[in-house]
Amino acid sequence: MLPQVKKILYASDIEKGSRPAFRSAVSLCGHYHSEITYLHVIEPLSASAQNMVRTLMNDHDLNELHDQSIANLKQKMQQRLEQFYASELEQHDQLSADQVTARVEEGQPWKTILSVAEEIDADVIVMGCRTHSSVGQFFLGSTANKVIHHSKRPVLTVPI
């Protein structure tokens, strides 16, 4: 018997071209009547970048800018979801807005994706995989590669 997929974690970089991966998550969601957590991970600034910013702004202004940036990202994600609903969903599609939850987290992307998958008890992780040279992937690794190699859950990668 095939496993049930009740919770899908869709990890997105919110870049142009990431829609095919979201389509795959929506397709799974429609097939299994499940929920999607739409996750975007922000990498923290390096220590030197933080020090440079702190010389330009006080902590209060920096925290305010940080909070506003998170709110703007969430709004951008919501707009993208609404555009997707309007342009791609047909009346017979079985996805409603209450099945998708948008989250913005901070941290090292692959570790944060795995942490959120554990937290929500995701049945599958869906993410796009941008094409890079094999040499670049060998030396640097990609977020998708790291998620695949460290996950205890199924990972569906979609070339974008």
∠ CA 18-22-149, nearest 5°, is 80
Q: How far apart are CA 102 and CA 147, in angstroms?
A: 20
For residue 58, what are the domain limits? 7-159
Residue 2 forms part of a structural domain: no
User: pTM, whole model, 2 decimals?
Assistant: 0.86
Edge to edge, the sheet with strand 7-11 lists 100-106, 35-42, 7-11, 124-129, 155-159
Residue 118 forms part of a structural domain: yes
Query: Over 70: is that where the pLDDT of 93 sits?
Result: no
Q: Give the H/E segment covering residue 40.
A: strand 35-42
Query: Residue 98 has what DSSP assignment?
Result: G
- pLDDT tens readout for residues 101-122: 999 999 999 999 999 999 999 9
User: How many structural domains are present in the chain?
Assistant: 1
Residue 145 forms part of a structural domain: yes
Residue 1 forms part of a structural domain: no
Q: How far apart are CA 105 and CA 112, in angstroms?
A: 7
Q: Which residue has the higher pLDDT, 77 or 113?
A: 113
Query: Over 60: is that where the pLDDT of 140 sits?
Result: no
Residue 34 forms part of a structural domain: yes
The DSSP line for 99-114 is GEEEEEEES-HHHHHH
**How much is the mean pLDDT over the chain?**
87
**Is the CB of residue 108 less than 8 Å from the CB of residue 138?**
no
Which CATH number belongs to the domain containing residue 153 in this structure? 3.40.50.620
Residue 113 forms part of a structural domain: yes
